[in-house]
Amino acid sequence: MARLLRPLRRGRRRSRGEPPVPLTCRELVGLVTDYLEGALPAVDRDRFEAHIAGCPGCTAYLDQMRRTLRALGAIPDEAVPADARETLLRAFRGWTA
């Protein structure tokens, strides 16, 4: 997934022996898809999970994304008419946040 936000501070440490810099809520939002797909490196996954453990808002967001993916995963491709699919693809091609 292309990073839409500023580059992630991958595992950067504050000083020797201290834990990696915590994620912000904004960084977490940019990583949700990679997290759900199991594509985050271990250090980023640990930072993600540490943030989720202490942030009710981001925990709710992650749960909402999981429910959305479950619901969308149940819609077969054939359920979307070809012309509507093409219109949607055209609308989102090149879209950036």
Q: What is the pLDDT of residues 34-65, one digit of tens each?
A: 999 899 999 999 999 999 999 999 999 999 99
A 10 A CB-CB count for 47 gives: 24
Is the whole-model pTM more than 0.75? no
> Which pLDDT does position 25 carry in this prediction?
94
Q: What is the pLDDT of residues 3-27, one digit of tens each?
A: 433 444 444 445 566 667 899 999 9
Contacts for 78 with CB less than 8 Å, ≥ 6 apart: none
* Burial classification of residue 31, based on how many CB atoms lie within 10 Å of its CB (0-12 exposed, 13-18 middle, 19 or more buried): buried
